[in-house]
Every structure is written in C-alpha cells, then in structure tokens.
A and B are shown apart, each in its own frame.
Chain A
C-alpha cells in the first residue's frame, strides 16, 4: 500500500503539478506549487529506500487499464512529434515518427496477444538510485529555476511571461523520468523515453530564437532515431521471447540468439543517442542554447543518464558477448574524444557539455566492461556526476546572468565580483577531479577494472589526463585576480544560494558516504548477477588488487582543508604586492607603462590548443571513428 502511494506520488504527482503550473498563471502560486511538489518528491523518494526492492502491477486508473492509457498516450505523443515534424519541415522527424507509429501499432494490435498482469513496475537499488537522483537533484534544480527564470525573462524583456510553459515541461519531465526508471514493462519504458525526448525538444526551443528552434529540431530528430531504434529493438525482443518484461529478459538472456543480440544492440544504439554519444553529440551541444536550469536538469544530470541507465540494466544480459566489448570500446572512445574536444573549447557551457558526454562515455565503458567492479564504478559515477554537474551548470548559469557571457575568458577573475559563486564553482571542479571525492573514486574503480585490458586502459588514461587539463584551467581562471579587499559574499536570491549550497554539500556528503552507498544500494543490486567486488569496512573499500580508504582520506583532506583555510586567513594579513610585470607595472591593477608612456593592460589568455583539439580539426574524424565503431557493434551481432 505504502509503495503504491509513494510510487504514484513520484510518477503521477508531477503530471498533476505540471498541469497546475500551466493553468495557474500567478508567479507566487506557481512558485509554491513547484516548491511543494519538489519537497513531496524528495520525501517520497527517500521513503522508498527502506521498501526496495519491490514489484507493482499497474492495474487500473480511473477504471481504465493503465496499459491502454499508456498506449493511447503513446499514439498521441507520436502524432504530436509528427506534427512538430510538419511544423518545422523536418523530413527526418516525419519519417522517423511515422515509422514509430507504424511499429507501435503493429506491436500493440498484432503482436501482443495478452497484456501482462503483473510486474509492470519494478524497483531495485539501481532504479531507486535513479529515482533519488531525479527527485532530489531535479527538485533542487527546479527550485533554482524560479529566480533564474525571473531574471531570464527580465533580461529578454518579454511582454508576456512564458514561465507557465517552462515549468509545465520541467515538472512533467520529473514525473516522466521517475516513470521511466521504475518501468519494467518495456512499452512503458518506451513511452516515457519518448516523453523525455519531447520535453527536451520543447525546452530547447523555449526561447523561440532561430538557433533555438534549429537546435531543438536537431535534438528531436536525433532522439527520434533513438526512439525508432528502441521500438525496432522491442519488436525483435518480442519475437524472440514473447514478452516485454525487462527483468525476465535479463534473467532468461539468450546471448547466442542473433535476433536477441541485435535487438539489444539496437537498444544500446537508442541509449547512445539519448546520452549524446559520438556521432550524435551535436544535439547536446546545440541544447546549450536553452536556459541553464534545462541544461542542468535534462542535459547533464538526468535525461542523458537514461542511456547509461538502460545499458547498465542490460549489462548482465550481454555479459561476455562481443556486443559488450563493443560498448566498452565505444564508451572509452567517446570518453577520450569528448575530453579532447573539451580541451579545445573556451565556451563554458560547451566545456560542460563535452565533459558530460565524456563522463557518460566512461559509464558506457564501465557497463561494457561488465565486471562487478566496473558496474559499481558506473553506478557511482552516475550518482556523483549528476550532483556535481548540476551544481556546475547552475554556477555557470548564475555567473552568466551576472557577466552576460558564458566564455571562460570572460570569467577571468570573476572571484573579484562574485566571490562566493566563484568559490562554489571551484569546489565543484575540485570534486570533479580530486580524491577523495566520488567522481575520482569511481574513476579509480573504473581504471582498476579496465587495467586487464590494455587498449581500454590506454584510452581511459589519456582521456583522464585531458580531463584534468580542462578542469584545472577553468578553476584557476575563475580565481585569477589581484586580490583586493576582504571576502564579502555577493547578493543572490535565497533559492539560488539554497540550490548551490544543497548540491555542493550533497556531493561532499555523498562522497564521504560512498562506502555506505556501496553496501546499502549497490551491493544488493550486484548480488545474483555478479560477485561482490569490494569489501567495505570502516569506510575503506578494499579488494585483493586495490584499496581506497575513503573515510581516512576524507578526514585527512578535511584537516588539510581547514589548515589551508587557516593559512588563507593569515595570508590576509600579508603585504599585498602586484603581480610580477617586469617592474613596469603602475598603480592601476593589471596595467603597465608601455611605449609612449601609454598604459597597456597585461593580458594572458588560456591555452586552448585549438590547432590540435579544435572542433574544426577533430569533429569529423571523431564522428567517422564513432560511426565505424557503431557499424562494428551492430554488424558484430549478426
């Protein structure tokens, strides 16, 4: 009963609340609805923790079978996408949505004889982790979106507020995501998969500029390609096994059968498009035109995680197959290539986008590697990446609204004007690349898991060296300022500080709690399919090959941090001198006396190495490489 209530709160409440946001046009009421929904979602998600694992059957809703409801909604959705295809004159969208309509109809009306009575909803630890991420991170981002969108519309000087549409889609998306990860019936999964595609399209196009619409249409057709691959895969799976129950499919996997493997390969392809892996990365890069909360919610922490979630789910089914190896190589390749492209970027949001693609690639590599260790690493990476990347996006959004630019060069010395935001951003970067924080913990696991395969480890080490480069550069640039005056936090809306604070503190606490997350959440998901990869005792993760003392290291790091802060406090009493400028500096900060006694500003730009890592140099080759790998993956199953 309890599970029933909580699950329906998680899935259905957002749909209701979204409707309220659309209908009630008052800003106050809308903010209240968003806040209440967010808190309810967080509470219900936390409430699910002691109840997992469980299965539920979606019987009837208001006297109608849920299965039929979903089917009708599915058709409505696909026709809506078809409509957008006509509206924006995109032939590809039209073809793909028609194909999907036909296949869904074929599947629903001709193939499926009886609707399964049980097991439409299944929640194990993996699904629970996703639900928690969606509900907690998603709600926090929606809270921050309230002040953000107010500012955003003030900047755009709109006559008529369009926030009701914005929050309609944002909140509805939360429900769709929860529904997606809880579905066990793959047709439900497919329905929510398409809902997220549509949400993404609507939110990218939100500002209605020409670029926004163009990019939104690109996102739509690429994701529709994924949807089409998904439904073709489903048809194949139904042929093979006669049902679409995800758990049964995984348990009774028949990796020898060609149709089965090809269908799974198609599901993987769908996952790759959703997670914007190469060569489908362009939609995610284009999606950066959307308001920043959208990038934070859909395009970094939750929606793009659907792809990796799906492949991690399917990992036991493809264990030991060539397909699994292909996924691993493909993921590692994306990890490296996206990191290289990120090095060549000076646009902050693009760096974040490439970094997201890169990290998702690493998770795919972990899933494809398919050892207990690597799968653990993949799941942990999903958790930590979601928190920290959402945090970084919100930070960049806050900075962007202040300096009216998203270029890293323009963020040079932003510490001078917005010290607290700059510090939180640097914190985020530190949590991204440094031990003992979670992202590095997962990377460590991934590397130790990949060490047995020399080509994978080679690719992953190169990728992670490039990762350090673009993050460290950014953190330093933010702080690059001749210090003047005392530290005084700038003014921001309470909800902004709340969101930034909650996300950064959350990420730090979760890093500390990594061993417990492992024992409580990941170990139960492991048992059955895999052997337990680590012993966790006293906050130390250990196995025969390696040891990561999370808790002791965190304690040392905390002590080091406090000492360093103490050093900073004392340094505030030190004599402040100008940066070294060969002795020709003048009293105006950063200036020197040049020829003809004129003042010249001393400037140094970052190295972006665009002659090596520029998009114009790499993108074509990377897309070619990824294409070849995809063909290898699909062809290899035949």
Chain B
C-alpha cells in the first residue's frame, strides 16, 4: 500500500518535473545546433508559471474542461506507467488526452484552431496504430502487457524488437511535435497556422497543456526505456541517443504536409512492424 502511494506520487510529481527539465534541455540543444546559446534549462518552468499567473480568457468555456481533461489523462497514464500497469491500457488513456485537446481546439471557431485540430487528428491516426503494434511486439516477446512482467524479462527487448524500436521512433517524433511531423502545432509555424491546435488556448489553460505535454514526454521516454530495461546504463544510453536523434531530426528537416505524413509513416511504420512481428511470430 505504501509502495503504491510512493509510485503514484512519483509519477504524479517527479514525472512533470523531469519532463519539464527534458524539454528545457531540448531547447538548449536546439539552440546550440543553431549556433545560439539558448534559454536557461528551467525555462519551461518559467513559461508555465508565467502562464498560470496570467488573466483567464476563453473562447468557449468547454476549452477549460478539455485542458483539464488532457492534463488528467496524461498524468493518469504516467501514474499507471509507474504503477507498472497494462501497456495497452496506458496507450488508450494517453489517447484520451489527445482527443480532449482536439475537441477543445474544435470548440473554437477560429479556422487556425480548426485546421490544427484536424491535423492533430491525422497525427493521432498516424501514430496510434504504431504505438499499439509496438506494445503488441513487447507482448509477443515477453508474454504480457503488464509492465511488471516486461521488466523481469531477462534480456534487452531491443535485440528482439529492433524494427519496432524504429517504429516507436516515428511515433515519438510525431508525438513530441518535431519536424517533419509538427503539422498541428509548432514553435515555428506562425505564418501558416499561427499556433494551430493551441491557438485559442491561452493563459492558465495553455499552461495546463504545456504541463500535460511534459507528462507525455515522460511516458514516451518510459516506453523507450522498456527496450533496455535490464540495466540502467543501457537504459540511459538508449534514452539519450534517442532523444538526441529526435532533436537532430527536428533541426535538419522541414515540415511536410499530412498526406506525406500519413502515407510515409503508415508505409514505413506498418511494414517495419509487420516484419518484426512476423519474426517474433515465427521465432
């Protein structure tokens, strides 16, 4: 019982703190890649605290509901991850958050918000099957969807699921809103769609979506970590390399359109998953 409480609190509190730090690191790394110095590492926390202290303005009160729903779902997903629950269930709960964000954006009639929301739906459509297939791969290898059992697996999953790790990389790039998949909302797309999905969330509600995003970062990196769960050194190396690759890809690629994203991600992602799943199936 005490252990459970500890896990819940860790997921709930440490999760976003770590996620915020990682996104601060991300900004510094990006700046360095562009020969700039970049903001302090605590910058995401300053941003969120500032937003929380701003005046509340809304277009439609249900945006508030959706922002809270997003935060609740993503934090719940991370807590369940720390409780070593069912991976498939965690993915479903994570999807709830994404859907809430979309519904909140659709609640505003601004065309920027609407277009952003639909692009986000297409992003969900692109990455959701991939994430599920990754989890199915983990199940086929370890015989369980429960993280508890996955962690006791004697050898690193990466050895048996290399292609599925690449597939997870695609999902990660979309989910972290990195180029070439940052269609729905992006730090750099002002001309084209203002802030897309997040255009009409403002002040404290924007802060909630920001914090929710930190939880999501944690969840996805946790999923990556499962691929080398046998030793903490391997786990660290895997996460660092993966995240560095994400930032690099973000900086060297241009934003593409949704047709390309859907076609490319499904073609590559599904083929790679299928190859890996058949390999597991026959092995």
Contacts and interface: CB of A to CB of B under 8 A. Distances in A.
B is a partner of A: yes
B274 to A, nearest CB: 7
Contact of A606 (B92, B118, B146): B118
A625 to B, nearest CB: 17
A112 interface: no
Interface residues of B, number: 68
B26 interface: no
Interface in B127-179: 128-129, 132-133, 136, 139-140, 143-146, 149
Contacts of B270: 458, 462
B103 A476 contact: yes
A572 interface: yes
A548 B66 CA distance: 24
A214 to B, nearest CB: 35
A440 B144 CA distance: 19
Contact of A602 (B61, B111, B125, B144): B111
Nearest to B258: A607
A612 to B, nearest CB: 8
A435 B89 contact: yes
Nearest to A581: B110
Interface string A439-476: 01000100110011010011001101110110011011
A475 B103 contact: yes
A560 B69 contact: yes
A560 B274 contact: no
B211 interface: no
A580 interface: yes
Contact of A469 (B68, B115, B124): B124
B64 interface: yes
B132 A447 contact: yes
Interface centre among B95, B103, B118 (most CB of A within 10 A): B103
B88 interface: yes
A413 interface: yes
Nearest to B67: A567
Interface in A97-152: none
B111 A461 contact: no
Interface stretch (B36-44, B50-58, B244-252): B50-58
Interface in B56-93: 56-65, 67-69, 72-73, 76, 85-86, 88-89, 92-93
A596 interface: no
A571 B204 CA distance: 11
Interface string A605-616: 011000000000
Contact of B144 (A457, A545, A581, A606): A545
B273 A602 contact: no
Given A480-B106, A568-B62, A435 B92 contact: yes
Contacts of A579: 59, 108-110, 113, 200
A448 B145 contact: yes
A462 B57 CA distance: 38
B92 A440 contact: yes
Contacts of A549: 85
Contacts of A473: 102, 106, 118, 121
A479 interface: yes
Contacts of B149: 544
A472 B102 contact: yes
Contacts of A447: 88, 132, 136
A182 B26 CA distance: 63
Contacts of A575: 55-58
A308 B202 CA distance: 48
B94 to A, nearest CB: 10
A483 B58 contact: yes
A454 B270 CA distance: 11
Given A545-B146, A547-B85, A563 B68 contact: yes
A576 B68 contact: no
B215 to A, nearest CB: 14
B68 A564 contact: yes
B128 A465 contact: yes
A578 B103 contact: no
B146 A604 contact: no
A577 interface: yes
Nearest to A575: B57
A110 to B, nearest CB: 51
Nearest to B90: A435
A333 B99 CA distance: 25
B235 interface: no
A548 B88 CA distance: 9
A572 B102 CA distance: 21
Interface in B218-257: none
Contacts of A490: none
Query: Which of B76, B88, B144 has the most C-beta atoms of chain A within 10 angstroms of its own C-beta?
Result: B88
A590 B110 CA distance: 8
Nearest to B93: A435
A335 B17 CA distance: 41
B60 A483 contact: yes
Given A461-B132, A476-B105, A607 B59 contact: no
A434 B111 contact: no
A465 B124 contact: yes
A458 B68 CA distance: 32
A210 interface: no
A571 B145 contact: no
Contact of A576 (B57, B124, B274): B57
Given A454-B278, A457-B133, A465-B128, A602 B110 contact: yes
A465 B129 contact: yes
A52 B108 CA distance: 52
Nearest to B121: A469
B248 to A, nearest CB: 28
Contacts of B112: 580
B59 A578 contact: yes
Contact of B103 (A479, A590, A603, A606): A479
Contacts of A483: 58-62
A23 interface: no
A60 B72 CA distance: 61
Given A458-B270, A465-B128, A545 B143 contact: yes
B107 interface: yes
A465 B64 contact: no
A440 B200 CA distance: 30
A604 B68 contact: no
A377 interface: no
Contacts of A582: 194
Contacts of A374: none
A625 B258 CA distance: 27
Given A461-B129, A549-B85, A607-B118, A481 B109 contact: yes
A41 B10 CA distance: 52
A415 B129 CA distance: 32
Given A469-B125, A580-B194, 6 more contacts: A444-B86, A454-B274, A476-B107, A556-B72, A567-B68, A579-B113
15 contacts: A444-B86, A454-B140, A458-B270, A468-B95, A483-B61, A483-B62, A545-B143, A545-B146, A548-B89, A571-B58, A575-B58, A579-B110, A580-B199, A581-B111, A604-B111
Interface of A: 413, 415, 426, 433-435, 440, 444, 447-448, 451-452, 454, 457-458, 461-462, 464-466, 468-469, 472-473, 475-477, 479-483, 544-549, 553, 556, 560, 563-565, 567-568, 570-582, 590, 602-604, 606-607
Q: What are the nearest 3 A-B pairs in CB distance?
A: A476-B106, A579-B110, A574-B56
